[in-house]
Amino acid sequence: QLQLQESGPGLVKPSDTLSLSCTVSGGSLNSTSYYWGWIRQPPGKGLEWIGNIFYTGRTDYNPSLKSRVTMFVDTSKNLFSLRLSSVTAGDTAVYYCATSPGYCSRTTCYNLYYMDVWGKGTTVTVSS
């Protein structure tokens, strides 16, 4: 059974880059059946989709965060990562990694854009 576990610093300074990783167990990052994504929840607010990445490196990003977000996969370590640059207090949140199912036809792969497996989340605070 697929399981996800977030890791990374719990405290990041303003203007620095937030870096988180999500280790995958029970499945392979090379799978064509999953897209690997990040969602966050600021304190007292709702969920916000950050983006996702396919094993090929293809990414989809939330347009409001696109200029600051980078995602990548490390198939040798079976993990995928999130980097968010130039952080402010507004980036303080619980960050979740999650999978979205997908499928491939002969020529194209498709993301079904719902999140079926989630990590437990990790709290990141932006503060000096």
Partner 1 sequence: QSALTQPASVSGSPGQSITISCTGTSSDIGSYNQVSWYQHYPGKAPKLMIYEVTQRPSGVSNRFSGSKSGNTASLTISGLQAEDEADYYCCSYAGYNTFVIFGGGTRLTVL
Which residues lie near partner 1 (CB under 8 A)?
39, 46-49, 51, 60-63, 96, 112-116, 118-121
Q: Are 91 and 98 in contact (CB under 8 A)?
A: no
- Nearest distance from residue 45's CB to partner 1, in Å? 8
Q: Is 47 helix (H, G, I), strand (E, B) or coil?
A: coil
Distance CA 36, CA 22 (A): 9
Q: For residues 92 and 119, which CB has a smaller minimum distance to partner 1 in the complex?
A: 119
- Nearest distance from residue 112's CB to partner 1, in Å? 7
Tell me the one-letter amino acid at 99: T
Q: For residues 43 and 128, which CB has a smaller minimum distance to partner 1 in the complex?
A: 43
- Nearest distance from residue 1's CB to partner 1, in Å? 11
Q: For residues 72 and 113, which CB has a smaller minimum distance to partner 1 in the complex?
A: 113
Q: For residues 76 and 114, which CB has a smaller minimum distance to partner 1 in the complex?
A: 114
Tell me the one-letter amino acid at 75: T
The backbone region for 10, taken as left when phi is positive above 0, alpha when psi lies in -120 to 50, beta otherwise, is alpha
